[in-house]
Structure 1
Amino acid sequence: MNNQPVLGISGCLTGSAVRFDGGHKRMGFVMDALAKRVTFKPVCPEMAIGLPVPRPALRLVKTTVGDIQMRFTHAPHDDVTDKMTDFTAKYLPTIAHYDGFIVCAKSPSCGMERVRQYDEKGNQGSKVGVGTFTAALMEAYPWLPVEEDGRLHDPVLRENFIARIFALHELNAIRAKGLTRGALLAFHSRYKLQLLAHNQRAYREIGPFVASLHEWKDLDAFFVAYRDKLMAILKQPASRKNHTNVLMHIQGYFREKLNARQRSELRQVILNYRAGLLPILAPLTLLKHYLAEHPDNYLLTQNYFDPYPDELGLRLAIS
């Protein structure tokens, strides 16, 4: 199995000149930093259905009966919806092993949200549409991390997306090696603090489900159900409040090992993070320093400290 996460990506975001106007939308972070740590599999759905470069622009049209169709802007009765539907039906089964997907914002084929819709007379409607390809993608793989280039400029959404793709990659690797109860339980144990940071209520709810693992005869069925629950929790970005609770929880492991000055310093750094005066990297760095000096078997396994490669610099940008 590939030792890097495998991601689909709209071809134009890689720098390939595949857009309708012959241009591209290359993303610097994606191609200069993330590409070193993941394997990208580019696709341009519009070219895949046989359209040339350059080509007439497409738009989403809401018909009088409520259907959403892809039609050419200059020839509103020329419909390519069936071609796109046929392509996605053949393409989507081939990417079941993917760990994420990055799509192009506002595109009638690839946009993830807020794609403008038109009526059959050509009048502009609301920005409530989803690109035809991406709609099918998210319906087929509801657990798959999917983001668009525009949203990835938000440091919180970017960090959350990257954390999710590495989590799914690790989980998929367990399945590829052959599922065992021990491996599934060890995975969940590694992600406990990470889940707690994302959603405390959901963290408490998934616990009894995992505890029921011994009752499942079909481990693959458990895997599918667990994957859905895990990725749903991780999809909600971790809040400052939840991060603070997790940091305070970790602090408790060092209560008997640090002197009064160290305990006070650590608590103040965490409080300064909660107040927005420091990035989360500050308390995490201090806690990792103390963990190196005072190893704890449970904490050393926690994905929370290193959910993705440090060189991506994601925790430098988020508060």
Structure 2
Amino acid sequence: MTIKIGISACVLGEPVRFDGGHKASTFCLQQLKPLVQFVAVCPEQAIGLGVPRPAIRLQRDEQHNIRLVQSRDPAVDHTSQMLAYTEKLLPGLASLSGYVVCAKSPSCGMERVRLYDDAGQQLGKIGVGIFTRQLMHHFPWLPVEEDGRLLDPALRENFITRIYACYDYQQQMLDGFSTAKLVNFHSRYKFLVMAHSPVAYRELGRLVASAKLFDAAELSLRYLTDLMQALKNIASRKQHANVLQHLQGFLKKSLSQAEKHELTDLIHRYRQGYLPLMSPLTLLAHYLRQYPNQYVAAQRYLSPYPEQLGLRA
């Protein structure tokens, strides 16, 4: 099966913005598109707003409700239409493994969307697009990212890591959840989690260990949600180095003193900032070919997404 990723239609290059333009993402179109199936959505066009169309904005009324209104004529209110459309659409998006939304959009923005009061005064960049707010509430586990933030290498790598972890979990549980499947999945992901959040590494371990205390559906959702939240943290050099040292430990009986010293040195130099992550990873992979270790080789930390994306380079 192909990974399905939701995406704002304008980010995919479709001319559906209010001014008839688009916000095509080079990364999505050139690097990600060959590997996934995009599901393009333009909520504004879907509720009947034409192209081009009057600009809209988020506005907070006296009761502090957030409304989606026309910028020049706030009496034209699209909130009910947007909420009804979103409620109807969301159940059909349950198979998605991620979603790329359009930054700053009053319908699709993930954060820092301009919010206005009834008088038309800007309250600050404190809003969330109406559609995306409902999306994230309905699927709290779903990796969601904005097109603009994907220009940041660390955020881009983090988002793709979450997408592939989410998809792997969905595939693992495709024909039903079981504790055995959960244990198998967690055993492959524990070091990836450790790199992103040592605290979550311990908490998820305890959750899996006490799996029999939970209802299956509740446990499945809780694990996936907690996993996605843990992976949302950007892994630091210190945390990567810690994981690399742990993985090296599994090979200590196989490596010679010279090999141990070489790998230890590379990990240390990476931690200090002198080398990229691929340096110790490449040497570790080399030693794994020489001295096979099934448990270490199965760790998704070593290969969290397709190599051709080049995100760790």
TM-score range, shorter chain: over 0.9
Map of 2:267 onto structure 1: 270
Please give the alpha-carbon distance, in whole angstroms, between the structure 1 residues aligned to 2:159 and 2:207: 25
One-letter amino acid matched to 2:151 = H
Question: 1:182-221 to 2 correspondence within 5 Å?
Answer: 182-216=180-214, 218-221=215-218
Q: Cα RMSD over matched residues?
A: 1.3
Please say if 1:174 is aligned against 2:172: yes
Aligned to 1:116, the other structure's residue is in SS state strand
Please give the alpha-carbon distance, in whole angstroms, between the structure 2 residues aligned to 1:221 and 1:69: 33
Using the size of structure 1 for normalisation, the TM-score is: 0.95
Map of 1:160 onto structure 2: 158
Map of 1:99 onto structure 2: 97
Map of 2:30 onto structure 1: 32
One-letter amino acid matched to 1:211 = A
CA shift at 1:130, angstroms?
0.5
Q: Which moved more, 1:171-180 or 1:299-308?
A: 171-180
Q: Which moved more, 1:116-125 or 1:25-34?
A: 116-125
Q: 2:304 aligns with which of 281, 290, 307?
A: 307
- Where does structure 1 differ by over 6 angstroms across 4 or more consecutive aligned residues? none
One-letter amino acid matched to 1:210 = V
Please give the alpha-carbon distance, in whole angstroms, between the structure 1 residues aligned to 2:264 and 2:121: 58
Please give the alpha-carbon distance, in whole angstroms, between the structure 2 residues aligned to 1:120 and 1:41: 35
Aligned to 1:40, the other structure's residue is in SS state strand
One-letter amino acid matched to 2:267 = I
Please give the alpha-carbon distance, in whole angstroms, between the structure 1 residues aligned to 2:9 and 2:250: 47
The alignment covers a number of residue pairs equal to: 313
CA shift at 1:249, angstroms?
1.1
Map of 1:256 onto structure 2: 253
Please say if 1:280 is aligned against 2:249: no
Please give the alpha-carbon distance, in whole angstroms, between the structure 1 residues aligned to 2:216 and 2:120: 52
Please give the alpha-carbon distance, in whole angstroms, between the structure 1 residues aligned to 2:51 and 2:213: 55
CA shift at 1:162, angstroms?
0.5
Please give the alpha-carbon distance, in whole angstroms, between the structure 1 residues aligned to 2:45 and 2:260: 59
One-letter amino acid matched to 1:263 = K
CA shift at 1:241, angstroms?
1.3
Q: CA deviation digits over 1:59-88, x for unaligned, max 9?
A: 111112211111111212211111111111
CA shift at 1:258, angstroms?
2.3
Map of 1:229 onto structure 2: 226
**Gapped runs of 5+ residues in structure 2?**
none
Map of 1:137 onto structure 2: 135
Question: 1:38-187 to 2 correspondence within 5 Å?
Answer: 38-187=36-185
Q: Is the 8 A contact 2:173 2:181 kept in 1?
A: no
Aligned to 1:186, the other structure's residue is in SS state helix
One-letter amino acid matched to 1:118 = Y
How much identity, in percent, do the aligned residues show? 49
Q: CA deviation digits over 1:278-297, x for unaligned, max 9?
A: 11111111111111111112
Please say if 1:10 is aligned against 2:15: no
Using the size of structure 2 for normalisation, the TM-score is: 0.97
Please give the alpha-carbon distance, in whole angstroms, between the structure 2 residues aligned to 1:154 and 1:114: 17
One-letter amino acid matched to 2:93 = I
